[in-house]
A and B are shown apart, each in its own frame.
Chain A
Amino acid sequence: MDNTLFKQYQQMLKKEKRFVRLYQLIILLVFFGGWELLSRFGWIDRLIFSSPTYVWQTFIEKVSDGSITLHVGVTLMETVIGFIAGTLLGTLIASVLWWSPLLSKVLDPYLVILNAMPKVALGPILIVALGPGYFSIIAMGALISIIITTIVVYTAFKGVDPNYSKVLQTFGATRWQIFREVILPASFPTIISTLKVNVGLSWVGVIVGEFLVSSKGLGYLIIYGFQVFNFNLVLMSLLIIAFFATIMYQVVELIEKAIIKK
């Protein structure tokens, strides 16, 4: 009896999952199909909004002349490094603030200002200071996520139940031991969730950086396409960015699962 009910329940779950997948697929098809039709019948301006077939043709062109791998490679490298640097540095600063409560009190208003300020506005200064190359773009990708990582992770450090620290203090633990054994592991879930936010932020930083430096990368392709009024190119770059941003997000989720499971 229980067994048949359980099987029914499992089948229901399966059915629901299939239903969800089906509608997700339908939305995708409607989006691209509708886009294609609208532009083919001239209801939207093909020059501005392009169409899936044109985007695809552009993509094939760029793949066959090999230029796309270069642009994607450059942007991806910049984003991944910027993302990792931003998260690590943010966590490091948060640790320093946790270490010295006095320093964190002193720096508090500056963190608020830095967080409120649009970091991309620093782009021109970065480019002048670090030179118009990979380095300044990576710096943009990192900079955009450092402050918010610092604030979120520091809040998580402070939010750890003080009784866990008390347990170690009764064993005579040093501050470093408390940090390593309690504060850091207890904050891992928060650090992982800032990773998810930072994936999106790093893309923003890197693309804007490429807008400004304009020599290589998907951000460069977008700006170039805009300047020569080739919107096939712009939309193609956008779709590629969406694709890789999603993959990065999925990778972070896999890491999360691996760590939380542990």
Chain B
Amino acid sequence: MGFLKLEHIHHSYFSNTQAKEVLRNINLEIREGEFVSFIGPSGCGKTTLLSIIAGLFPSTDGNVYIDGEEISAQNKSLIGYMLQQDYLFPWKTIEENVTIGLKIMERSNKTHKVTANALLREVGLPHVGSNFPRELSGGMRQRVALARTLAVNPKILLLDEPFSALDYQSKLKLEDLVVETLKAYQKTAILVTHDIGEAIAMSERVFLFSANPGSLHRVFEIPETLRKLSPFDVRQHPAYSDVFQTIWKELESLG
């Protein structure tokens, strides 16, 4: 039984001139604690699928189950969502940014400061609590965004290309940090990315989607030897380029 289960997900967007089918018959299951990636050409509906899992809007058809519970606009499960950019609120301090989720859910105020400090230490930024986002670099801000996402103790993390706006060095460091942190907290996570290397380096399984309409094309199991390594080490491993080639060819064949 999967922790996250998608059943016959269909989705169409309506505009006043046409209805566009973006997702067709998506079925998949993800185990608890698993890290998977969604890759595919632009327009394959990856972000739409993520939003549906998050319960931001309902799919036109089909069901989403998280931990056995059906997800709908009324019954949102606790999910953590990381976006392409950090979207930290510039008028709030780092500490306030990290605890905003707890504030929204009206958990008791006393524990906020403790949680914020612990999480900031976890992401390697122990002394920035009273700073404002503009005083931090892009990589640091995305780490704060990770802390904010983890603060509410979500059941599942949805990462929508969270490294795409970063420079290469920060990106590699952050990949390691995210995998390490999620492993420590035993979180289930879905990463949406354009970067095949990133998908291989971070995940246990890679879901390849094809576009127009978006549907699940193939699932790749990442070899056991690579899974145990940190993303940075995966990229150095001899087996890495074989996996890369396989996925690359499959992606190319989609046109």
Interface: A167 (CB within 8 A): yes
A171 touches B (CB below 8 Å): yes
How many angstroms from the CA of A182 to the CA of B104 in the assembled complex? 12
A177 contact set on B, CB distance < 8 A: 104
B85 A166 Cβ-Cβ under 8 A = no
Q: Is A131 an interface residue (CB 8 A)?
A: no
Contact B87 A164 (CB under 8 A): yes
Contact A169 B91 (CB under 8 A): no
Bound together, the chains give a CA A84 to CA B243 distance in angstroms of 66
Segment of B12-20, B22-30, B76-84, B114-122 in the binding face: B76-84
Taking a contact as CB atoms under 8 Å apart, the answer to whether B85 and A172 are in contact is no
Residues 164-188 of chain A: 1 if any B CB is under 8 Å from the residue's CB, otherwise 0?
1011111111000100011001101
Is there an interface contact between B87 and A167, defined as CB atoms closer than 8 Å?
yes
Q: Is the CB of B83 within 8 A of A167?
A: yes
Report chain B residues within 8 Å CB of A181: 89, 100, 103-104
Q: Which of B56, B85, B89 touches A170 (beta carbons < 8 Å)?
A: B56
Contact of B56 among A161, A169, A186 (CB under 8 A): A169
> B104 — which chain A residues lie within 8 A by C-beta?
168, 171-173, 177, 181
A139 to B97, CA, bound (A): 41
Q: Mark B138-166, 1 if CB is under 8 A from A, else 0.
A: 00000000001000100000000000000
Interface bin, chain A: 10 to 19
Measured between beta carbons, the chain A residues less than 8 angstroms from B56 are 166, 169-170
Q: Complex: how many Å from CA A75 to CA B56?
A: 52
Query: What B residues does A17 contact at CB under 8 A?
Result: none
A64 touches B (CB below 8 Å): no
Tell me if A's interface is mostly helix, strand, loop or mixed: helix
CB within 8 Å for A185 and B105 given contacts A166-B56, A168-B100, A170-B79? no
- B62: interface (CB < 8 Å): no
The verdict on A170 contacting B54 (CB below 8 Å), with A177-B104, A181-B104 known, is yes
Instruction: Report chain B residues within 8 Å CB of A185.
Output: 89, 91
A182 near B79: Cβ-Cβ < 8 Å: no
**Cβ-closest chain A residue relative to B56:** A169
Residues of A within 8 A of B80 (CB): 170
A105 interface contact, C-beta 8 A: no
CB contacts (< 8 Å) of B83 on chain A: these are: 163, 166-167
Q: Report if B33 contacts A (CB, 8 A).
A: no
- Residues 239-254 of A, flagged 1 when their CB comes within 8 A of B and 0 if not, give 0000000000000000
Residues of A close to B54: CB separation below 8 A: 170
Please indicate the chain B residues that have their CB under 8 angstroms from the CB of A172 in the complex. Answer: 76, 104-105
Taken together as a complex, chains A and B put the C-alpha atoms of A166 and B84 apart, in Å, by 12
Given A163-B83, A166-B56, A166-B81, A171:B89 Cβ within 8 A: no
Q: Is the CB of A163 within 8 A of B85?
A: yes
**CB pair B105 A161 closer than 8 Å:** no
Contact with B along A69-88 (1 / 0, CB 8 A): 00000000000000000000
Bound together, the chains give a CA A168 to CA B76 distance in angstroms of 13
Closest Cβ neighbor of A262 among chain B residues: B91
Asked if B58 is an interface residue, CB under 8 A from chain A, the answer is no
A110 vs B54: C-alpha distance when bound (angstroms): 38
CA distance A154 to B85 in the complex (A): 25
Answer whether residue B101 sits at the interface, using C-beta atoms and an 8 A cutoff: yes
What CA separation (Å) do A168 and B83 show in the bound complex? 12
Within 8 A of A (CB), among B42-71: 54, 56
A169 to B76, CA, bound (A): 10
Of chain B, the residue at the smallest CB distance from A177 is: B104
Out of B76, B79, B87, B103, name the residue touching A163 (CB < 8 Å): B87
Interface 1/0 per residue, B90-113 and A, CB below 8 Å: 010000000011011100000000
- 25 A–B pairs (Cβ distance < 8 Å), ordered by A: A163-B85, A166-B56, A166-B81, A166-B87, A167-B83, A167-B87, A167-B100, A167-B148, A168-B100, A169-B56, A170-B56, A170-B79, A170-B80, A170-B81, A171-B100, A171-B104, A171-B152, A172-B76, A172-B104, A177-B104, A181-B100, A181-B103, A185-B89, A185-B91, A186-B89
Q: List 16 extra interface pairs beyond A166-B81, A167-B100, A171-B105, CB under 8 A.
A: A161-B87, A163-B85, A163-B87, A164-B87, A166-B56, A167-B87, A167-B148, A168-B100, A170-B56, A170-B80, A171-B100, A171-B104, A177-B104, A186-B91, A188-B91, A262-B91
Chain A residues within 8 Å of B, Cβ to Cβ: 161, 163-164, 166-173, 177, 181-182, 185-186, 188, 262
